[in-house]
Structure 1
Amino acid sequence: MSACTKTRSATAFLLVGSIGTVATAQINNDRLRNEVGTVKIEARVQRFEPIQSVVAGAFPIHTSNYDVVAVWDPAGSRAHESWDMELIYPLPGEMQISFTSNETVGIRRQSGGLAGQSDGPMESSRIGANFKDLWLSNPVILLAYAEQRAVSNGDRSDQRVELHQLTLEDTEWLVEIDGASGLPASASTTENDPHRGRIENRIDFSDWRDVDGIPFPFRLEQFTGDRLVRREIRTAVTVNPENTESLLAFVASELPPGDPAMRRWGWDMSHIILKRGGGGNIGNFPQIDNVAIEEIAPGIYLVPSTHNNLIIEGPDGLALVDASWYPERSHTLLARMAERWPEKPIRYLFLTHHHIDHTGGMRPVIETGASVVTSEKNAGYFREVFESTMAQIVNLVEVGQFLSLDGIGREIHAYDVYTEHADGMIAAYVPDEKLLFNADLFSPNRPLQFSLWFDDLMNAIDWHGIDVEKHVGGHGSGIAAHPVDVSGHTMPVIRRLEIGAN
């Protein structure tokens, strides 16, 4: 075994050749597959989320820092990862989580974070996402195992590169080989994305070092659609480390069988699954089995989940407030709505703000022809997404301070809410029931509240003079009466009433 401690020449493992005018490093694939059983990677990671930023389209929000130790057996499809996390957004705290899996099943161990102690089987979607990320993060190993389909020349930032088109696990990959160093400059693939449909998931590599004659990058920057999502500085890489079998071992027969379809779902959307993981979220499923429509007031229906929707019924159609994760959930909800109201189209989709957990299911709803109602501050972002990724023309209705709509034969108001949580926040109000729907600022009947954001909502109600009797939230459950008693909320940003609260 050998761990890299300093930069050395990589020529021991590279055969320099050329195609056209670009000098390239041809990886000795047979040697790598035969001699490299496992790889251990230790690193410091920063995670970012572009679609949770305060301003739509602005710099991604920093969600976490963590130390990671990964042990990977690429030929045997086994892996172990442990993350020691400092959570920054949305809830400051600490979390330790580890994953041990083979191709189909695995075990997760967690302590800290919002869920507290939580051990159990890994979701198949997270298994797929983790393995996809390991391949993308280690391009020399990817080149050794993938089928090479084509090689061509190109340019990247005024530097000649050689483009290797690869196939692995029914997935197309592109590795750019730097013409000067003969080493991979980047690796990318195209993945499903809730907002844009398809998006490039790319990692740029630098600080290459030799480990037992095998080159590994020690600095990685990951981007989705050219937006930063991860920075990784590797502190050590070891080839064929000793005493790792205990980390990779678990009794697969004692776990429920894996779900190949869900593994593929996570694989095809690994950037989303791992960005959520970087924020301390461990739930990785499309939530299509819990879609229920519950009437909470005459003609007003809550669709409860981790992220709630609201349906407002009028004589001439329906309005839907928010479109939470994921497109698959929206497809299921649309089918239920069509069964219940076959003659009533969805006239409006209200998007309270741009965050992807409340808008990740928007595309199927928009494809029905619904007009999108959102803040004028977010209109530019959504317009660019729609025009660049959707064939249809989307009717975008912009909300300033206030807007009244009656296209469903029932009046609905939209009010702007100034909050540090998200610029361009709106709340939806049904005057005939004096019912207000907000996202994230107040979660009815939930023991976890963000007191500063709650104050922002109450201030907006006072400023606009909204006659509220009932609150419904994008989180939480049921209805809360107004005024709400928040006398115990004393923390300046959040109050965790109970560690491990849902």
Structure 2
Amino acid sequence: MLRLSLLSLALLPLLALADNPETLTERSNERARGVIDAAVAAMGGAEAVQSVKVLQLTLEGETWPRLQMQTPQAPYQDGYSKEVLLLDLANSRVKLETRLRGNGFENHGTVVLKRGEGTNYDHRARSVTAIPAAQASQQQFVQYQRRLPNLILRQALDRPTSLRYLGEETFNGAPHDVVTFVMPDTQQIALYVDAKTRLISKYDLIYVDPLTGDEAAEVLFSDYTDSGGVKVPQRWEFRQAGEVASRFSAQVAINPAISDATFEVAADGYAKAQPVPTELPQRVEDLGGGVYVIHNGAGQNQNTLAVAFDDFVLAVEAPGSSAGAENVIQRIKETIPGKPIRYIAMTHHHGDHIGGLRGFIAEGATVVTTPGNRGVVESLAQAPQKDRLARAPRTPEFLFVEKGRRVISDGKQTVELLDVGPHPHARELLVAYLPKQRLLFQGDLFAMPNNDAPLGPPQESSLAFAQFLKNKKLRVDKIASVHGRTVSIEEFVQAVQPGTPTAAR
């Protein structure tokens, strides 16, 4: 009996194996691998995909960044973008030159990453800034491999165990197989593979949109052609929450000749700047007279002004997210205890400036803005997000800045909210002016870098701001900012020189 019992126990694992069907995860992974293999074959085959050692991609076209346009609603004024990306996959090197124009700003720069080091070249300011090693890592390199389908497929082939089949979906009127996998930088993406052509039509990933909650950011590929034995798209489009944010023509060169000199940048006469700090500390700047700037409380380089009145607090700007706003609110309560936050003023409707508004609305603060922004605030307040406002919904209350000015005062403390618009950056755009302190708080009109890099030629946005100060004859000693440090009026005048009109003293 004992011998039979031991024999039975020995057979149990074999019986279990014989009766162990594939799990749902295994079946999903197996089907996803089949879709990826078919996509690789359509792209030119595994050998052709893996033979790409160097790739140059030029993207050029129009941009309409979501929640970054002059107005919160269409029609939008388009911007311009061009980037030339050179990837040396064999040696983990990247060179990216970008030109951007729109909404009162123009930028031209080059980033080079190689051997775990990085350098940023600002061609407008003629400066060179080292990129800290933590920001020049392989994690940063991976993001550029989402620019083209063949690079994404290489990543999928290298990470087969993370592949999952999501199902079938109709996209642009055609059936698609959708698979997902996790890239080395931990970003999970979903690939839409055309069921007929087996080419990748798009990929998407999830992000939190201030107005609509969890949403998809999509990159669309179309108009494929052959280049170096690999299929590459000639059209490239980026969408957020279903809205087109950019539309580019794409030119791809496979395995162009390169050398070490290719990754050098001519920078004769450029000023050498200190690296930008990898992490900006949270701090409270006391500007005197009950006026404070909460630095980096809502996120890196995102600041809020807090002004103490006799019986309440006025906050200006709610950047970041709901979580960031909760941190800023706590900082304000610690700095100005025993007084409710009665008002939250927003400078303009851009997403990085209103992402934390829900936290202040939940706190019971009245939103101070221009009439044209009412709709975007109401949409934001109704967004399906998981925060304090979702747990205890409130309808936003408004105090509008009309005819260009709204004064909040208790007889001792005074804040004038002034509409700078129409401005190149936003049609309606507020600044907070404190005449007693001779202080002005603004967002996106001027910013001083967080290192010692030169500013370069003044931007259109800053020149329009300087003209506004002159026209209004505002007496200003200091300018505090949503992004960047507080500067003296002398620093601002120097930045918009030569010959730029500026504030009366």
TM-score (norm 2): 0.68
Does residue 116 (structure 1) correspond to residue 127 (structure 2)? The answer is yes
How do residues 335-374 of structure 1 correspond to structure 2 at under 5 angstroms? 335-362=330-357, 364-374=359-369
Partner residue of 1:153?
168
- Identity rate, percent: 18
Please give the per-residue CA displacement for 1:211-251, whole angstroms capped at 9, x wherever unaligned: 56543323211122233344444433325x666789799xx
CA distance in 2 between partners of 1:128 and 1:407 (Å) = 52
Partner residue of 1:208?
224
Amino acid corresponding to residue 218 of structure 2 in structure 1: R
Does residue 437 (structure 1) correspond to residue 441 (structure 2)? The answer is yes
1:406–1:132 CA distance, 2 compared to 1 (3 A): same
1:157 Cα deviation (Å)?
Answer: 3.0
Whether the aligned pair in 2 keeps the contact of 1:417 and 1:457 (CA below 8 Å) is: no
Please give the per-residue CA displacement for 1:429-450, whole angstroms capped at 9, x wherever unaligned: 4466565433344679998572
| Structure 2 residue corresponding to 1:290, chosen from 278, 281, 296 | 281
CA distance in 1 between partners of 2:350 and 2:402 (Å) = 19
CA distance in 2 between partners of 1:235 and 1:34 (Å) = 17
Whether the aligned pair in 2 keeps the contact of 1:108 and 1:120 (CA below 8 Å) is: yes
1:410 Cα deviation (Å)?
Answer: 5.8
Does residue 455 (structure 1) correspond to residue 455 (structure 2)? The answer is no
Higher Cα Rg, which structure? 2
More helix per residue:
2
How do residues 232-271 of structure 1 correspond to structure 2 at under 5 angstroms? 232-238=248-254
How many residues are aligned here? Answer: 425
CA distance in 2 between partners of 1:34 and 1:468 (Å) = 63
Amino acid corresponding to residue 200 of structure 2 in structure 1: P
Tell me the secondary structure at the aligned position of residue 163 of structure 1.
Answer: strand
CA distance in 2 between partners of 1:230 and 1:359 (Å) = 22
| Structure 2 residue corresponding to 1:299, chosen from 271, 281, 290 | 290
Tell me the secondary structure at the aligned position of residue 420 of structure 1.
Answer: coil
Amino acid corresponding to residue 117 of structure 1 in structure 2: V
CA distance in 2 between partners of 1:115 and 1:337 (Å) = 39
CA distance in 2 between partners of 1:329 and 1:79 (Å) = 35
| Structure 1 residue corresponding to 2:153, chosen from 140, 147, 153 | 140
CA distance in 2 between partners of 1:442 and 1:42 (Å) = 33
1:125 Cα deviation (Å)?
Answer: 8.3
Q: Which runs of 5+ in 2 are unaligned?
A: 1-30, 265-274
Amino acid corresponding to residue 231 of structure 2 in structure 1: P
Q: Which runs of 5+ in 1 are unaligned?
A: 1-17, 250-281, 495-502
Does residue 472 (structure 1) correspond to residue 479 (structure 2)? The answer is yes
Partner residue of 2:420?
417
Whether the aligned pair in 1 keeps the contact of 2:228 and 2:253 (CA below 8 Å) is: no
Please give the per-residue CA displacement for 1:176-225, whole angstroms capped at 9, x wherever unaligned: 12234221111111135567654322111012234565433232111222
Does residue 82 (structure 1) correspond to residue 95 (structure 2)? The answer is yes
1:359 Cα deviation (Å)?
Answer: 3.8
1:404 Cα deviation (Å)?
Answer: 4.5
Amino acid corresponding to residue 428 of structure 1 in structure 2: A
CA distance in 2 between partners of 1:179 and 1:34 (Å) = 20
How do residues 13-412 of structure 1 correspond to structure 2 at under 5 angstroms? 25-28=38-41, 31=46, 35-36=50-51, 38-46=53-61, 48=63, 49-58=65-74, 59=76, 61-62=78-79, 64-72=81-89, 79-89=92-102, 90-92=104-106, 94-100=108-114, 105-114=116-125, 116-124=127-135, 128=139, 130-135=141-146, 137-138=148-149, 139-146=152-159, 147-169=162-184, 170-192=186-208, 198-211=214-227, 213-238=229-254, 289-303=280-294, 308-324=303-319, 330=325, 332-362=327-357, 364-390=359-385, 391=390, 392-397=393-398, 398-401=400-403, 402-405=405-408, 412=415
Tell me the secondary structure at the aligned position of residue 52 of structure 1.
Answer: coil
CA distance in 1 between partners of 2:447 and 2:202 (Å) = 42
More strand per residue:
1
